[in-house]
Structure 1
Amino acid sequence: MTTTTTPRAAALPQTDRDTARDLAAAEYATLLAMVDAFSEPDWDRPTDCTAWRVRDMVAHVAGAAEEACRLPVLLRHQVAALRGMCRGDGVLVDLLCQAQIADRAGLPDPDLAADLRRWAAGAPDGRRRQPALLRRTRMPAFAGLRPGSRMAYLLDVIYLRDTWLHRVDLHRATGVDMPVSSAEPEVVAQVVRDLDLEWTGPALVLDLTGRGGGRWCVGTGEPVAVVTEDAVALMRLLSGRSDECVLATDGDPSVADRLRATRVVF
């Protein structure tokens, strides 16, 4: 078990606004290439987000991009979601997604693809331009983010992570090729950073292979195991999508069990 000179994931800096803008543009470009390759039947296929078909997922991503470009739309969706939450209709993030999808319920599939393209063009700069005061604002607990998170975390980390994981979902649903984007290493690294910031178990070395992979130390103290896994498979596990992970472990096997039960916000 080799663990020397492995960097601590929690020591990674949070993605900055300029990097987030550039990586979001790359993610949207690869997403649009995938959507352009959909066949007519693809739009109605189920996804790993079991309440959503492919078109619902595309509508959600388009709606989130529009919110970055149009403040009145964002405020309208937030008010609707907060009212729904007060009525007990669900949690904030799910109700925001419902509002995004409802806005696009009447769009034909080709128009939905065009709608995504329209808002994806402006969303990276729209998020990057948010003022420093807003970016420093602490997010309320009901937002469902990591405790202590500020708005910058949502703008620069979560939206990028969400778009990337939905590309994985769309690839699995349709079989359309998922192009590699320049954002993938940063997306994976930030997920592992969040994992480490909340990790309370024994220290381990996480060796992620495949696209977006890397090697980090998670937890405080001397690592008791090295866990090796495909990066995309682990991201799906941590998101709660599904568990196809092997979590090959060199060392204490209980670490893998603890990792398998852990979730990170996407």
Structure 2
Amino acid sequence: MTLARTEHARTVDALRALGPDDWARPTSCPEWDVRQLACHMVGMAEFPSSPIEIARQQRKASAVHARRGGPAVDGLTQVQVDERADWAPDQVVLGAVRAAPRSVRGRRWISACAGRAPLPGTQPVNGREESWSVGYLLRTILTRDPWMHRTDLSAATGRPMTLTPDHDGVIVDDVVAEWAERHGRPYQLELTGPAGGSWRRGDAELMTLDAVEFCRIISGRGIGVGLLETQVPF
């Protein structure tokens, strides 16, 4: 939750730094411009604020999924965007400010009470369906998600992304650990930048790339070769 609080704060700062021309720029999420992406970020921050809010969003998402098909999570994210379709940029920023403390409180409380419980359904990762726990979603994914979308904002607008070893470096380290566990093969990895570091298991050819670029590739936003074809959920 320390990482969650910091990530919410950096999300707010990133949204506040956007200029008037930035909000309509296209993003790495093909159906969304910057404003729509930010609306999703606010909606996903609100999602775990209470069991009532979770149930409300899931109920509406089920109706969208029934009409559109595709991954169930796409119905949820579409609801989050659609509910804020008329929000101006200042409303989006205010929504992010208000959602942050509620999100952290809800995630802490729900994960403490139900963290070991399985999430309904499965999630597609690396061509397989896998089951997640409530705790994995609340403690890990819902911090990685806004972090990755901050990289989307930076890529869309050209504005620098705030990165520090004690926050972003911790998130990247966790991502690398999960990536290594998922592929299970020897590797040697050096990631550059403030969030980077060095990791190794066994003997393998050294891979060197930027820490943010590495995460974007294994999130599916770039084309990975070899071990970089192994994706990690964000």
Structure 2 length-normalised TM: 0.89
Equivalent residue, structure 2, for 1:9: none
CA contact (8 A) 1:210 1:230 kept: yes
C-alpha offsets along residues 167-199 of structure 1, whole Å, 9 cap, x if unaligned? 111011112232225421121112112212211
**Aligned counterpart in structure 1 of residue 171 of structure 2, from 171, 187, 194:** 187
Q: Deviations over 1:66-102 (max 9, x none)?
A: 1122432321221232344345522111111001111
Which deviations, in whole Å up to 9, do the C-alpha atoms of 1:121-149 show, x marking residues without a partner? 32122211115341101234434468343
1:55 Cα shift?
0.7
- Aligned residue number for residue 258 of structure 1: 226
Cα-to-partner distance string for 1:4-26 (whole Å, 9 max, x where unaligned)? xxxxxxxxxxxxxxxxx111111
Q: 1:260 to 1:72 in 2, by over 3 A?
A: same
Shift of 1:154: 0.8
Contact preservation (8 Å) 1:138, 1:151: yes
Asked if structure 1 preserves the Cα contact closer than 8 Å seen for 2:27 and 2:34, the reply is yes
Structure 2: gaps (5+ residues): none
Higher relative contact order (CA 8 A, sep 6+): 1
- SS class of match (2:42): helix
In our comparison, the structure showing a higher alpha carbon Rg is 1
Write the deviation string for residues 4-62 of structure 1: whole angstroms up to 9, x where unpaired: xxxxxxxxxxxxxxxxx111111111221121121112111101111110011110110
Amino acid at match of 1:190: D
Deviates more, 1:48-57 or 1:134-143: 134-143
Instruction: Give the counterpart of 1:207 among 190, 201, 208.
Output: 190
CA RMSD of aligned residues (A): 2.1
Amino acid in structure 2 at the alignment position of 1:154: L
Moved more, 81-90 or 110-119: 81-90
Match of 1:160 among 136, 143, 150: 143
Does residue 1:94 correspond to 2:77, yes or no? Answer: no
Deviations 1:147-178 (A, max 9, x none): 34311111111111111111111011112232
- Percent identity between matched residues is 33
The size of the alignment, in residue pairs, is 230
Counterparts of 1:216 and 1:73 in 2: how far apart (Å)? 40
TM (normalized to structure 1)?
A: 0.79
Q: Secondary structure at the match of 1:44?
A: coil
Is the CA contact 1:68–1:123 (under 8 Å) kept in the aligned structure 2?
A: yes
1:8: which partner in 2? none
Whole-Å Cα distance in 2 between the matches of residues 54 and 260 of structure 1? 27
* Alignment match, 2:132: 149
| 264 and 33 in structure 1: CA distance in 2 versus 1, 3 angstrom threshold | same
| Structure 2 counterparts to residues 110-125 of structure 1, below 5 A | 110-125=90-105
Give the match for residue 49 of structure 2.
69
Contact 1:157–1:190 (Cα < 8 Å) also in 2: no
In the alignment, what sits opposite 1:134?
114
| Structure 1 counterpart of 2:182, from 183, 198, 203 | 198
Letter in 2 for 1:225: E
Q: Which residue of 2 aligns with 1:103?
A: 83
Distance in 2 of aligned mates of 1:144 and 1:99: 20
The code of the aligned residue for 2:40 comes to H
